[in-house]
Amino acid sequence: MRNLIAGIFRGVGIGIGVTVITAVLVILLQKIVTLNIPVIGEYIADIVEIVEKSR
């Protein structure tokens, strides 16, 4: 029973952690795009667009 509960909490923790890290990365990428760096900005804009479409 203890292992079951530990597994559930571990899974929930990983899910929340991945969600937070992904959100922070998307926000950082959006801020980099606003800097208008020519080559990097276009590449990151494509990534952000793909992520936003998948929501």
Q: What share of the chain is helix, strand, coil (3-state, %, to 5)?
A: 90, 0, 10
pLDDT (mean) for 5-12:
96
Residues 6+ apart with CB under 8 A from 32: 40, 41, 44
Residues 6+ apart with CB under 8 A from 26: 48, 51
Query: Does 45 or 49 have the greater pLDDT score?
Result: 49
Q: Which range has the top average pLDDT, 22-26, 32-36, 51-55?
A: 22-26
Cα distance between residue 41 and residue 9, in whole Å: 38
- Tens-place pLDDT, residues 14-32: 999 999 999 998 888 888 7
Is residue 43 scored above 90 in pLDDT?
no
Residues 6+ apart with CB under 8 A from 48: 26, 29, 30, 33
Domain ranges of the chain: 21-55
Is 0.75 topped by the overall pTM? no
